[in-house]
Amino acid sequence: MYTTDLSGKGKAETAAAEDPAMLATFEARVAADEFIEPKDWMPEAYRKTLIRQISQHAHSEIVGMLPEGNWITRAPNLRRKAILLAKVQDEGGHGLYLYCAAETLGVSRDEMTEALLSGKAKYSTIFNYPTLTWADIGAIGWLVDGAAIMNQVPLQRTSYGPYARAMVRICKEESFHQRQGYEIMMHLAAGTEAQKRMAQDALNRWWWPSLMMFGPPDDKSPNTEQSLRWRIKRDTNDELRQKFVDITVPQAEAIGLTVPDPALKWNEERGAYDFGDVDWEEFYAVVRGEGAVAKERMQARQKAWEDGAWVREAARVHAEKKAVGNRQLAVGAR
């Protein structure tokens, strides 16, 4: 998800026009697992790919606050409400760590915000599905944050220093997200028949979209090779998806829920689960903006940005006035 370019360009940035000697030194540093820092020389294609990847990741964290934010006021009790509030706040924090990391590459915060609001920049497809019941909050924490962890843990060793450091902070916080979600599912699955049905229904609706989060199959992922070489992607989409299925299926079984895939079967020989085909038509439709609540999500972000305009403006003008006042005081005191 975060390492999959959803912008629809479908073509990798190439480093063809770069100084060959500089490029060779850069490639050697990256191959030796050295970190690249903001002021270091880097190929333009590396910079551009990273800006797109990190900002897409940041947008996903920010838009990702919406489906869960939808349930804060309706959480079943105070404990759940406090937890959900903290979790959604964390996602906001993740967005901010990542925007800062992208800014070190020479793009401004406002440019990134504009790209999101104009629809030019993409975010993870998963957040364009609606949260219909409380069980969806459990399913999101367990599956969506679970998939995010799978994707983000290897990125702690990504070659760009500020991105890697943001990932370390984020990964420290994600584990709580997944566990609180699983706990919600656990309680529902052990509850009344109706609660159990609700949990199963949420798993049915979130399972396949969660598998899609890892991005298209490797043979349809054109940028993978260069991104792996540049260490801005550390595992392929299919590798991560397989890993996710293998650890998640037993978790579902343990609480008596059924993964909605008739083709799911343990493969003794591979030591892994075989599973059914993901509906990639649905994935590409959501990438194109045809997700059930895609319009609603963008409207919510636009409204937040527009409603906050006067606050940003007032704070800026106030700070300027105060700075001028302080300078005059300093002059007067001489």
What residue 13 binds from another protein, Fe ion, none (CB within 5 to 8 A, per partner kind)?
none
CB burial of residue 328 (10 Å; 0-12, 13-18, 19+): exposed
Residue number with CB closer to another protein (30 or 240): 30
Query: Is 125:212 a contact under the CB 8 Å cutoff?
Result: yes
Residue 322 interacting partner from Fe ion, another protein, none (CB closer than 5 to 8 Å by kind): another protein
SS3 state at 93: helix
Q: Which residues pair with 160 in a beta bridge?
A: 36
- The stretch near another protein (CB under 8 A) out of 107-115, 132-140, 153-161, 214-222 is 107-115
Q: Closest approach of Cβ 106 to Fe ion, in Å?
A: 24
89 binds another protein (CB under 8 A): yes
Closest approach, Cβ 141 to Fe ion, in A, equals 8
CB of 59 to Fe ion, least distance (A): 12
Decide: 155 and 163 in contact? Cβ < 8 Å.
yes
Report how far residue 205's alpha carbon sits from residue 203's, in angstroms, rounded to the nearest whole number: 5
Between 165 and 243, whose beta carbon lies closer to another protein? 165
Q: What are the distances in angstroms from CA 218 to CA 240, 253, 265, 275?
A: 11, 28, 22, 16
Distance CA 266, CA 280 (A): 23
Site string for Fe ion, 136-175 (x = CB under 5 A): ---------x----------------------------x-
Task: Write the binding mask 128 to 167 for another protein: x where contact by CB under 8 A, - elsewhere.
Answer: -------------------------------------xx-
Pairing assessment for the beta strands 265-267 and 272-274 based on DSSP bridges: antiparallel
Report if residue 103 touches another protein, rule: CB under 8 A.
yes
Residues whose CB is less than 8 angstroms from the CB of residue 146 and which lie 6 or more positions away in sequence, other chains included: 178, 181, 210, 244, 247, 248
Torsion of CA 23, 28, 32, 35, to 10 degrees: -20
Q: Residue 40 or 279: which CB sits closer to another protein?
A: 40
Contact residues: another protein, CB under 8 A? 37, 39-41, 86, 89-90, 93, 96-97, 100, 103, 108-111, 113-114, 165-166, 169, 173, 312-313, 315-316, 318-319, 322-323
Contact residues: Fe ion, CB under 5 A? 61, 91, 94, 145, 174, 177
